[in-house]
Chains A and B, each alone.
Chain A
Protein backbone atom coordinates (compact mmCIF):
# COMPACT_ATOMS: atom_id res chain seq x y z
CA UNK A 1 0.00 0.00 0.00
CA UNK A 2 1.17 3.51 -0.67
CA UNK A 3 2.34 5.37 2.39
CA UNK A 4 2.20 9.10 1.94
CA UNK A 5 4.94 9.78 4.45
CA UNK A 6 7.31 7.74 2.34
CA UNK A 7 6.41 9.57 -0.79
CA UNK A 8 8.53 12.35 -2.11
CA UNK A 9 7.94 15.89 -0.93
CA UNK A 10 6.65 16.78 -4.36
CA UNK A 11 3.66 14.42 -3.97
CA UNK A 12 2.98 15.64 -0.46
CA UNK A 13 3.06 19.20 -1.66
CA UNK A 14 0.58 18.18 -4.30
CA UNK A 15 -1.64 16.60 -1.65
CA UNK A 16 -1.53 19.70 0.52
CA UNK A 17 -2.04 21.95 -2.48
CA UNK A 18 -5.12 19.88 -3.34
CA UNK A 19 -6.54 20.41 0.15
CA UNK A 20 -5.81 24.13 0.21
CA UNK A 21 -7.06 24.44 -3.35
CA UNK A 22 -10.38 22.88 -2.39
CA UNK A 23 -10.72 25.16 0.64
CA UNK A 24 -9.98 28.24 -1.47
CA UNK A 25 -12.37 27.01 -4.16
CA UNK A 26 -15.16 26.57 -1.62
CA UNK A 27 -14.58 30.09 -0.22
CA UNK A 28 -14.56 31.47 -3.77
CA UNK A 29 -17.80 29.58 -4.46
CA UNK A 30 -19.52 31.15 -1.46
CA UNK A 31 -18.37 34.64 -2.52
CA UNK A 32 -19.47 33.92 -6.09
CA UNK A 33 -22.94 32.83 -4.93
CA UNK A 34 -23.41 36.00 -2.89
CA UNK A 35 -22.25 38.26 -5.73
CA UNK A 36 -24.20 36.34 -8.38
CA UNK A 37 -27.35 36.33 -6.26
CA UNK A 38 -27.07 40.10 -5.80
CA UNK A 39 -26.62 40.52 -9.54
CA UNK A 40 -29.68 38.40 -10.31
CA UNK A 41 -31.68 40.44 -7.80
CA UNK A 42 -30.51 43.66 -9.49
CA UNK A 43 -31.50 42.31 -12.91
CA UNK A 44 -34.84 41.17 -11.54
CA UNK A 45 -35.44 44.60 -10.03
CA UNK A 46 -34.51 46.29 -13.30
CA UNK A 47 -36.87 43.99 -15.20
CA UNK A 48 -39.68 44.75 -12.76
CA UNK A 49 -39.06 48.49 -13.10
CA UNK A 50 -39.13 48.20 -16.89
CA UNK A 51 -42.32 46.18 -16.68
CA UNK A 52 -43.88 48.81 -14.40
CA UNK A 53 -42.82 51.61 -16.76
CA UNK A 54 -44.28 49.69 -19.68
CA UNK A 55 -47.56 49.10 -17.84
CA UNK A 56 -47.65 52.80 -17.00
CA UNK A 57 -47.11 53.68 -20.66
CA UNK A 58 -49.94 51.35 -21.65
CA UNK A 59 -52.20 52.92 -19.04
CA UNK A 60 -51.35 56.43 -20.24
CA UNK A 61 -52.01 55.35 -23.84
CA UNK A 62 -55.35 53.84 -22.84
CA UNK A 63 -56.36 57.03 -21.00
CA UNK A 64 -55.22 59.24 -23.89
CA UNK A 65 -57.15 57.16 -26.39
CA UNK A 66 -60.22 57.23 -24.16
CA UNK A 67 -59.96 61.01 -23.94
CA UNK A 68 -59.53 61.29 -27.71
CA UNK A 69 -62.56 59.05 -28.19
CA UNK A 70 -64.60 61.24 -25.84
CA UNK A 71 -63.49 64.37 -27.68
CA UNK A 72 -64.48 62.79 -30.98
CA UNK A 73 -67.91 61.76 -29.67
CA UNK A 74 -68.39 65.24 -28.15
CA UNK A 75 -67.38 66.77 -31.51
CA UNK A 76 -69.78 64.52 -33.40
CA UNK A 77 -72.64 65.32 -31.03
CA UNK A 78 -71.87 69.04 -31.06
CA UNK A 79 -71.24 69.42 -34.80
CA UNK A 80 -73.83 67.01 -36.16
CA UNK A 81 -76.62 66.46 -33.70
CA UNK A 82 -76.30 69.79 -31.86
CA UNK A 83 -76.37 71.96 -34.98
CA UNK A 84 -79.21 69.95 -36.49
CA UNK A 85 -81.23 70.24 -33.28
CA UNK A 86 -80.67 74.02 -33.30
CA UNK A 87 -81.80 74.21 -36.89
CA UNK A 88 -84.91 72.12 -36.07
CA UNK A 89 -85.63 74.42 -33.15
CA UNK A 90 -85.38 77.47 -35.44
CA UNK A 91 -87.77 75.93 -37.94
CA UNK A 92 -90.26 74.86 -35.29
CA UNK A 93 -90.19 78.39 -33.83
CA UNK A 94 -91.45 79.68 -37.14
CA UNK A 95 -94.56 77.51 -36.89
CA UNK A 96 -97.50 79.77 -36.07
CA UNK A 97 -101.19 78.98 -35.76
CA UNK A 98 -102.18 82.00 -37.86
CA UNK A 99 -99.56 81.41 -40.57
CA UNK A 100 -100.60 80.20 -44.02
CA UNK A 101 -100.91 76.41 -44.31
CA UNK A 102 -98.35 76.27 -47.18
CA UNK A 103 -95.77 78.10 -45.04
CA UNK A 104 -96.34 75.77 -42.06
CA UNK A 105 -96.19 72.70 -44.32
CA UNK A 106 -92.89 73.90 -45.79
CA UNK A 107 -91.47 74.49 -42.30
CA UNK A 108 -92.68 71.05 -41.14
CA UNK A 109 -91.11 69.37 -44.20
CA UNK A 110 -87.80 71.14 -43.55
CA UNK A 111 -87.89 70.09 -39.88
CA UNK A 112 -88.69 66.50 -40.82
CA UNK A 113 -85.85 66.49 -43.33
CA UNK A 114 -83.45 67.72 -40.65
CA UNK A 115 -84.78 65.08 -38.25
CA UNK A 116 -84.15 62.39 -40.89
CA UNK A 117 -80.59 63.64 -41.29
CA UNK A 118 -80.24 63.63 -37.51
CA UNK A 119 -81.45 60.02 -37.31
CA UNK A 120 -78.90 59.04 -39.98
CA UNK A 121 -76.10 60.85 -38.17
CA UNK A 122 -77.07 59.30 -34.85
CA UNK A 123 -77.02 55.88 -36.54
CA UNK A 124 -73.59 56.62 -37.98
CA UNK A 125 -72.22 57.76 -34.63
CA UNK A 126 -73.59 54.74 -32.78
CA UNK A 127 -72.36 52.50 -35.59
CA UNK A 128 -68.89 53.94 -35.15
CA UNK A 129 -69.11 53.40 -31.40
CA UNK A 130 -70.39 49.87 -31.60
CA UNK A 131 -71.47 48.50 -34.96
CA UNK A 132 -74.68 46.44 -34.75
CA UNK A 133 -73.06 43.82 -37.02
CA UNK A 134 -70.43 43.19 -34.37
CA UNK A 135 -73.02 42.61 -31.68
CA UNK A 136 -75.38 40.54 -33.86
CA UNK A 137 -73.07 38.57 -36.14
CA UNK A 138 -69.69 38.70 -34.49
CA UNK A 139 -66.18 39.90 -35.19
CA UNK A 140 -65.73 38.13 -38.53
CA UNK A 141 -68.83 39.76 -40.03
CA UNK A 142 -68.03 43.20 -38.58
CA UNK A 143 -64.43 43.02 -39.76
CA UNK A 144 -65.52 41.92 -43.22
CA UNK A 145 -68.05 44.76 -43.28
CA UNK A 146 -65.37 47.27 -42.36
CA UNK A 147 -62.99 45.88 -45.00
CA UNK A 148 -65.73 46.15 -47.63
CA UNK A 149 -66.48 49.75 -46.71
CA UNK A 150 -62.80 50.68 -47.03
CA UNK A 151 -62.57 48.74 -50.31
CA UNK A 152 -65.58 50.68 -51.68
CA UNK A 153 -63.97 53.99 -50.79
CA UNK A 154 -61.32 53.17 -53.45
CA UNK A 155 -57.60 53.91 -53.37
CA UNK A 156 -56.68 50.91 -51.29
CA UNK A 157 -57.39 47.19 -51.68
CA UNK A 158 -58.34 45.26 -48.58
CA UNK A 159 -58.26 41.45 -48.64
CA UNK A 160 -60.18 39.76 -45.91
CA UNK A 161 -59.96 36.07 -45.01
CA UNK A 162 -61.46 34.16 -42.14
CA UNK A 163 -61.43 30.41 -41.58
CA UNK A 164 -63.51 30.44 -38.43
CA UNK A 165 -66.97 31.49 -37.41
CA UNK A 166 -66.51 30.90 -33.70
CA UNK A 167 -67.82 33.77 -31.55
CA UNK A 168 -65.45 35.13 -28.98
CA UNK A 169 -66.31 36.71 -25.66
CA UNK A 170 -68.03 40.08 -26.48
CA UNK A 171 -65.28 42.05 -24.72
CA UNK A 172 -62.63 40.30 -26.80
CA UNK A 173 -64.56 40.88 -30.03
CA UNK A 174 -64.91 44.59 -29.31
CA UNK A 175 -61.22 44.85 -28.41
CA UNK A 176 -60.10 43.13 -31.63
CA UNK A 177 -62.52 45.27 -33.62
CA UNK A 178 -61.03 48.42 -32.07
CA UNK A 179 -57.56 47.11 -32.86
CA UNK A 180 -58.62 46.67 -36.48
CA UNK A 181 -60.11 50.19 -36.53
CA UNK A 182 -56.90 51.66 -35.08
CA UNK A 183 -54.75 49.75 -37.57
CA UNK A 184 -56.87 50.89 -40.52
CA UNK A 185 -56.71 54.42 -39.17
CA UNK A 186 -52.92 54.31 -38.93
CA UNK A 187 -52.50 52.75 -42.38
CA UNK A 188 -54.86 55.21 -44.09
CA UNK A 189 -53.30 58.21 -42.33
CA UNK A 190 -49.61 57.42 -42.52
CA UNK A 191 -48.66 54.27 -44.41
CA UNK A 192 -49.48 55.10 -48.07
CA UNK A 193 -50.24 51.42 -48.53
CA UNK A 194 -51.81 49.87 -51.64
CA UNK A 195 -52.93 46.61 -50.11
CA UNK A 196 -54.05 45.48 -46.70
CA UNK A 197 -54.47 41.82 -45.74
CA UNK A 198 -56.67 40.96 -42.79
CA UNK A 199 -57.01 37.36 -41.69
CA UNK A 200 -58.73 35.71 -38.78
CA UNK A 201 -58.09 32.12 -37.86
CA UNK A 202 -58.39 29.59 -35.11
CA UNK A 203 -56.47 26.45 -34.21
CA UNK A 204 -57.96 24.48 -31.32
CA UNK A 205 -58.35 27.07 -28.57
CA UNK A 206 -55.92 29.59 -30.03
CA UNK A 207 -57.43 32.51 -31.89
CA UNK A 208 -55.27 34.57 -34.21
CA UNK A 209 -55.77 37.87 -35.96
CA UNK A 210 -53.23 39.05 -38.52
CA UNK A 211 -53.12 42.48 -40.13
CA UNK A 212 -50.55 43.29 -42.78
CA UNK A 213 -50.12 46.35 -45.00
CA UNK A 214 -47.54 47.02 -47.70
CA UNK A 215 -47.06 50.63 -46.69
CA UNK A 216 -43.87 52.53 -45.97
CA UNK A 217 -43.48 51.05 -42.51
CA UNK A 218 -41.77 52.91 -39.71
CA UNK A 219 -39.26 52.74 -36.94
CA UNK A 220 -41.44 52.15 -33.85
CA UNK A 221 -38.97 53.87 -31.56
CA UNK A 222 -38.63 56.95 -33.73
CA UNK A 223 -42.25 57.78 -34.57
CA UNK A 224 -44.06 58.79 -31.42
CA UNK A 225 -47.59 59.26 -32.82
CA UNK A 226 -47.69 55.87 -34.46
CA UNK A 227 -45.98 54.52 -31.35
CA UNK A 228 -48.90 55.77 -29.29
CA UNK A 229 -51.33 54.02 -31.65
CA UNK A 230 -49.41 50.79 -31.25
CA UNK A 231 -49.29 51.22 -27.48
CA UNK A 232 -53.05 51.72 -27.52
CA UNK A 233 -53.40 48.50 -29.50
CA UNK A 234 -51.05 46.76 -27.09
CA UNK A 235 -53.04 48.08 -24.15
CA UNK A 236 -56.30 46.74 -25.60
CA UNK A 237 -54.73 43.36 -26.37
CA UNK A 238 -53.16 43.06 -22.92
CA UNK A 239 -56.53 43.87 -21.31
CA UNK A 240 -58.09 40.82 -22.95
CA UNK A 241 -55.08 38.66 -22.04
CA UNK A 242 -53.79 38.35 -25.60
CA UNK A 243 -50.34 38.53 -27.12
CA UNK A 244 -49.32 41.14 -29.62
CA UNK A 245 -46.46 40.92 -32.08
CA UNK A 246 -45.76 43.75 -34.47
CA UNK A 247 -43.14 43.72 -37.17
CA UNK A 248 -42.26 46.85 -39.07
CA UNK A 249 -39.31 48.75 -40.40
CA UNK A 250 -38.96 51.63 -42.86
CA UNK A 251 -40.00 50.46 -46.34
CA UNK A 252 -41.30 47.07 -45.24
CA UNK A 253 -44.92 47.68 -44.26
CA UNK A 254 -46.46 46.65 -40.98
CA UNK A 255 -47.57 43.25 -39.76
CA UNK A 256 -49.45 42.92 -36.53
CA UNK A 257 -50.36 39.53 -35.08
CA UNK A 258 -52.70 39.15 -32.15
CA UNK A 259 -53.12 35.76 -30.53
CA UNK A 260 -55.33 34.84 -27.64
CA UNK A 261 -56.95 31.81 -26.10
CA UNK A 262 -60.68 31.48 -26.63
Chain B
Protein backbone atom coordinates (compact mmCIF):
# COMPACT_ATOMS: atom_id res chain seq x y z
CA UNK B 1 0.00 0.00 0.00
CA UNK B 2 2.84 2.37 0.88
CA UNK B 3 4.29 2.05 -2.61
CA UNK B 4 1.20 3.64 -4.04
CA UNK B 5 1.51 6.56 -1.67
CA UNK B 6 4.83 7.55 -3.19
CA UNK B 7 3.81 6.91 -6.75
CA UNK B 8 3.61 10.38 -8.42
CA UNK B 9 1.05 9.20 -10.98
CA UNK B 10 -1.19 8.03 -8.22
CA UNK B 11 -1.13 11.41 -6.54
CA UNK B 12 -1.60 13.35 -9.75
CA UNK B 13 -5.28 13.27 -9.03
CA UNK B 14 -4.81 14.87 -5.63
CA UNK B 15 -5.99 18.35 -6.53
CA UNK B 16 -8.73 16.95 -8.69
CA UNK B 17 -10.05 15.08 -5.67
CA UNK B 18 -9.91 18.15 -3.48
CA UNK B 19 -11.60 20.17 -6.14
CA UNK B 20 -14.33 17.57 -6.57
CA UNK B 21 -14.89 17.29 -2.84
CA UNK B 22 -15.15 21.07 -2.57
CA UNK B 23 -17.77 21.18 -5.32
CA UNK B 24 -19.74 18.36 -3.69
CA UNK B 25 -20.40 20.65 -0.73
CA UNK B 26 -22.62 22.69 -3.01
CA UNK B 27 -24.60 19.68 -4.21
CA UNK B 28 -27.18 19.48 -1.35
CA UNK B 29 -27.79 23.23 -1.56
CA UNK B 30 -28.32 23.14 -5.33
CA UNK B 31 -30.61 20.09 -5.09
CA UNK B 32 -32.59 21.76 -2.28
CA UNK B 33 -33.12 24.80 -4.46
CA UNK B 34 -34.17 22.68 -7.46
CA UNK B 35 -36.52 20.36 -5.56
CA UNK B 36 -37.79 22.99 -3.14
CA UNK B 37 -36.94 20.70 -0.21
CA UNK B 38 -35.63 23.29 2.21
CA UNK B 39 -38.50 23.87 4.61
CA UNK B 40 -38.24 20.73 6.72
CA UNK B 41 -35.91 21.03 9.75
CA UNK B 42 -33.65 18.17 8.56
CA UNK B 43 -33.25 19.77 5.13
CA UNK B 44 -32.58 23.14 6.70
CA UNK B 45 -29.94 21.63 8.96
CA UNK B 46 -28.23 20.01 5.96
CA UNK B 47 -28.24 23.34 4.10
CA UNK B 48 -26.83 25.21 7.10
CA UNK B 49 -24.18 22.55 7.72
CA UNK B 50 -23.16 22.46 4.04
CA UNK B 51 -23.10 26.25 3.79
CA UNK B 52 -21.03 26.60 6.92
CA UNK B 53 -18.66 23.85 5.76
CA UNK B 54 -18.21 25.72 2.49
CA UNK B 55 -17.34 28.86 4.40
CA UNK B 56 -14.92 26.90 6.59
CA UNK B 57 -13.30 25.29 3.56
CA UNK B 58 -12.97 28.67 1.90
CA UNK B 59 -11.35 30.23 4.95
CA UNK B 60 -9.10 27.36 5.94
CA UNK B 61 -8.13 25.49 2.78
CA UNK B 62 -7.92 28.47 0.43
CA UNK B 63 -5.77 30.20 2.97
CA UNK B 64 -3.71 27.06 3.16
CA UNK B 65 -3.23 27.00 -0.61
CA UNK B 66 -2.08 30.59 -0.64
CA UNK B 67 0.48 29.75 1.99
CA UNK B 68 1.46 26.42 0.53
CA UNK B 69 5.05 27.45 0.00
CA UNK B 70 5.65 29.39 3.19
CA UNK B 71 5.38 28.56 6.86
CA UNK B 72 1.97 30.05 7.55
CA UNK B 73 -0.76 27.77 8.84
CA UNK B 74 -4.52 27.58 8.54
CA UNK B 75 -4.88 26.23 12.08
CA UNK B 76 -6.48 29.39 13.58
CA UNK B 77 -9.51 28.86 11.33
CA UNK B 78 -10.04 25.41 12.79
CA UNK B 79 -9.83 26.76 16.34
CA UNK B 80 -12.37 29.46 15.59
CA UNK B 81 -14.82 27.68 13.30
CA UNK B 82 -15.00 24.13 14.70
CA UNK B 83 -17.19 25.01 17.76
CA UNK B 84 -19.97 26.33 15.50
CA UNK B 85 -19.61 23.30 13.23
CA UNK B 86 -19.92 21.10 16.33
CA UNK B 87 -23.05 22.97 17.36
CA UNK B 88 -24.55 22.42 13.87
CA UNK B 89 -23.59 18.75 14.12
CA UNK B 90 -25.45 18.31 17.43
CA UNK B 91 -28.52 19.98 15.92
CA UNK B 92 -28.80 17.09 13.45
CA UNK B 93 -29.59 14.84 16.36
CA UNK B 94 -32.18 17.04 18.04
CA UNK B 95 -34.72 14.24 17.42
CA UNK B 96 -33.32 12.40 20.41
CA UNK B 97 -31.12 15.03 22.10
CA UNK B 98 -34.01 17.44 22.71
CA UNK B 99 -36.25 14.95 24.47
CA UNK B 100 -36.13 12.63 27.46
CA UNK B 101 -33.91 12.69 30.47
CA UNK B 102 -30.73 13.53 28.52
CA UNK B 103 -32.09 16.71 26.96
CA UNK B 104 -29.62 18.77 28.99
CA UNK B 105 -26.97 17.47 26.52
CA UNK B 106 -28.55 19.71 23.89
CA UNK B 107 -26.71 22.72 25.33
CA UNK B 108 -24.12 20.99 27.48
CA UNK B 109 -22.35 19.30 24.55
CA UNK B 110 -21.67 22.45 22.47
CA UNK B 111 -20.79 24.39 25.63
CA UNK B 112 -18.37 21.72 26.85
CA UNK B 113 -16.85 21.58 23.37
CA UNK B 114 -16.32 25.35 23.33
CA UNK B 115 -14.63 25.23 26.75
CA UNK B 116 -12.36 22.41 25.54
CA UNK B 117 -11.44 24.43 22.45
CA UNK B 118 -10.41 27.37 24.64
CA UNK B 119 -8.46 25.11 27.00
CA UNK B 120 -6.79 23.48 24.02
CA UNK B 121 -5.69 26.87 22.63
CA UNK B 122 -4.20 27.79 26.01
CA UNK B 123 -2.49 24.49 26.75
CA UNK B 124 -1.38 23.30 23.30
CA UNK B 125 0.66 26.23 22.05
CA UNK B 126 -1.91 28.74 20.85
CA UNK B 127 -3.80 29.25 17.61
CA UNK B 128 -0.89 28.34 15.34
CA UNK B 129 -0.93 24.65 16.30
CA UNK B 130 -3.50 22.55 14.52
CA UNK B 131 -6.14 21.43 17.11
CA UNK B 132 -5.82 17.74 16.31
CA UNK B 133 -7.18 16.74 19.74
CA UNK B 134 -10.22 18.98 19.22
CA UNK B 135 -11.01 17.72 15.74
CA UNK B 136 -10.33 14.20 17.00
CA UNK B 137 -12.88 14.83 19.76
CA UNK B 138 -15.22 16.32 17.17
CA UNK B 139 -15.01 13.16 15.09
CA UNK B 140 -15.49 10.88 18.12
CA UNK B 141 -18.53 12.94 19.13
CA UNK B 142 -19.83 12.64 15.55
CA UNK B 143 -19.40 8.86 15.63
CA UNK B 144 -21.11 8.57 19.03
CA UNK B 145 -24.00 10.84 18.01
CA UNK B 146 -24.53 8.92 14.75
CA UNK B 147 -24.46 5.54 16.46
CA UNK B 148 -26.73 7.03 19.17
CA UNK B 149 -29.22 7.94 16.46
CA UNK B 150 -29.28 4.36 15.17
CA UNK B 151 -29.74 3.05 18.71
CA UNK B 152 -32.55 5.57 19.17
CA UNK B 153 -34.20 4.18 16.01
CA UNK B 154 -33.89 0.65 17.35
CA UNK B 155 -35.43 1.72 20.66
CA UNK B 156 -38.35 3.67 19.21
CA UNK B 157 -39.04 1.37 16.22
CA UNK B 158 -41.26 3.92 14.51
CA UNK B 159 -40.16 3.37 10.93
CA UNK B 160 -39.71 0.17 8.99
CA UNK B 161 -38.03 1.68 5.93
CA UNK B 162 -35.43 3.76 7.74
CA UNK B 163 -33.55 4.26 4.48
CA UNK B 164 -36.48 6.43 3.36
CA UNK B 165 -35.85 8.83 6.23
CA UNK B 166 -33.48 11.73 5.45
CA UNK B 167 -31.91 11.39 8.90
CA UNK B 168 -30.81 7.84 8.09
CA UNK B 169 -28.64 9.15 5.25
CA UNK B 170 -27.41 12.04 7.33
CA UNK B 171 -26.37 9.72 10.18
CA UNK B 172 -24.83 7.13 7.84
CA UNK B 173 -22.88 9.82 5.98
CA UNK B 174 -21.64 11.41 9.19
CA UNK B 175 -20.67 8.04 10.67
CA UNK B 176 -18.59 7.07 7.61
CA UNK B 177 -17.15 10.60 7.35
CA UNK B 178 -16.00 10.74 10.95
CA UNK B 179 -14.76 7.14 10.94
CA UNK B 180 -12.62 7.97 7.89
CA UNK B 181 -11.31 11.20 9.33
CA UNK B 182 -10.74 10.24 12.95
CA UNK B 183 -7.23 8.79 12.69
CA UNK B 184 -6.37 11.31 10.00
CA UNK B 185 -7.18 14.29 12.20
CA UNK B 186 -5.62 12.76 15.29
CA UNK B 187 -2.36 12.20 13.40
CA UNK B 188 -2.45 15.48 11.46
CA UNK B 189 0.19 17.23 13.55
CA UNK B 190 2.64 14.43 12.75
CA UNK B 191 1.72 14.04 9.10
CA UNK B 192 2.04 17.75 8.28
CA UNK B 193 5.77 17.58 8.87
CA UNK B 194 5.96 16.20 5.37
CA UNK B 195 3.65 18.24 3.12
CA UNK B 196 3.83 15.85 0.16
CA UNK B 197 2.90 12.96 2.34
CA UNK B 198 0.19 15.02 4.04
CA UNK B 199 -1.48 15.97 0.78
CA UNK B 200 -1.31 12.45 -0.47
CA UNK B 201 -2.83 10.85 2.60
CA UNK B 202 -5.33 13.66 3.06
CA UNK B 203 -7.07 12.49 -0.08
CA UNK B 204 -8.96 10.08 2.15
CA UNK B 205 -10.63 13.15 3.63
CA UNK B 206 -11.70 14.23 0.13
CA UNK B 207 -13.20 10.82 -0.60
CA UNK B 208 -15.25 10.62 2.60
CA UNK B 209 -16.27 14.26 2.15
CA UNK B 210 -17.65 13.44 -1.31
CA UNK B 211 -19.46 10.47 0.23
CA UNK B 212 -20.91 12.62 3.05
CA UNK B 213 -22.31 15.25 0.71
CA UNK B 214 -23.68 12.64 -1.70
CA UNK B 215 -25.51 11.18 1.31
CA UNK B 216 -26.69 14.68 2.28
CA UNK B 217 -27.98 15.11 -1.28
CA UNK B 218 -29.93 11.83 -1.05
CA UNK B 219 -31.38 13.10 2.24
CA UNK B 220 -32.44 16.33 0.52
CA UNK B 221 -34.17 14.32 -2.23
CA UNK B 222 -36.25 12.40 0.31
CA UNK B 223 -39.43 13.94 1.58
CA UNK B 224 -39.72 13.53 5.36
CA UNK B 225 -43.39 14.49 5.25
CA UNK B 226 -44.27 11.29 3.41
CA UNK B 227 -44.53 9.40 6.70
CA UNK B 228 -46.68 6.56 5.32
CA UNK B 229 -43.79 5.38 3.20
CA UNK B 230 -41.74 4.74 6.33
CA UNK B 231 -44.26 2.59 8.09
CA UNK B 232 -44.17 -1.17 8.30
CA UNK B 233 -45.52 -2.98 5.19
CA UNK B 234 -48.34 -4.41 7.33
Contact: B183 with A34, CB < 8 Å? Answer: no
Contact of A34 among B147, B162, B197 (CB under 8 A): B162
Stretch at the interface among A22-30, A118-126, A174-182: A22-30
Contact: B197 with A5, CB < 8 Å? Answer: yes
Stretch at the interface among A11-19, A59-67, A105-113: A11-19
B contact face: mostly helix, strand, loop, or mixed:
helix
Within 8 A of B (CB), among A1-42: 1-6, 9, 12-13, 15-19, 22-23, 25-27, 29-30, 33-34, 36-38, 40-41
The distance from the CB of A16 to the nearest CB of chain B, in whole angstroms, is 6
Complex CA distance for A25 and B175, rounded to whole angstroms: 10
Stretch at the interface among B70-78, B110-118, B187-195: B187-195
Contact: A25 with B179, CB < 8 Å? Answer: yes
How would residues 3 to 24 of chain B score, 1 for a CB under 8 Å from any chain A CB and 0 otherwise? 1010000000000000000000
Q: Most chain-A CB neighbours within 10 Å: which of B143, B180, B234?
A: B180
Contact: A38 with B1, CB < 8 Å? Answer: no
Question: Is A45 close to B, CB under 8 A?
Answer: yes
Complex CA distance for A39 and B178, rounded to whole angstroms: 27
Contact of A12 among B2, B160, B179 (CB under 8 A): B2
Contact: B1 with A16, CB < 8 Å? Answer: yes
Contact: A33 with B154, CB < 8 Å? Answer: yes
Give the A interface residue count (CB, 8 A): 30
How would residues 41 to 52 of chain A score, 1 for a CB under 8 Å from any chain B CB and 0 otherwise? 100110000000
Q: Residues of B contacting A13 with CB < 8 Å?
A: 1-2
Contact: A41 with B179, CB < 8 Å? Answer: no
Contact: A3 with B190, CB < 8 Å? Answer: yes
Give the B interface residue count (CB, 8 A): 35
Q: A4-B191, A41-B157 are in contact. Are A19 and B180 (CB under 8 A)?
A: yes
Contact: A19 with B175, CB < 8 Å? Answer: no
The distance from the CB of B135 to the nearest CB of chain A, in whole angstroms, is 14
Q: Residues of A contacting B190 with CB < 8 Å?
A: 1-4
Q: Most chain-B CB neighbours within 10 Å: which of A23, A34, A40?
A: A23
A16-B2, A36-B154 provided; 13 other pairs, C-beta below 8 A? A1-B190, A4-B190, A6-B194, A9-B2, A12-B2, A16-B1, A22-B182, A23-B179, A23-B208, A26-B178, A33-B150, A33-B153, A37-B162
Chain B residues with CB under 8 Å of chain A are 1-3, 5, 143, 147, 150, 153-154, 157, 160, 162-163, 172, 175-176, 178-180, 182-184, 187, 189-191, 193-194, 196-197, 201, 204, 208, 232, 234
Closest 7 A/B residue pairs (Cβ): A5-B194, A26-B179, A9-B2, A5-B197, A22-B179, A3-B193, A33-B150
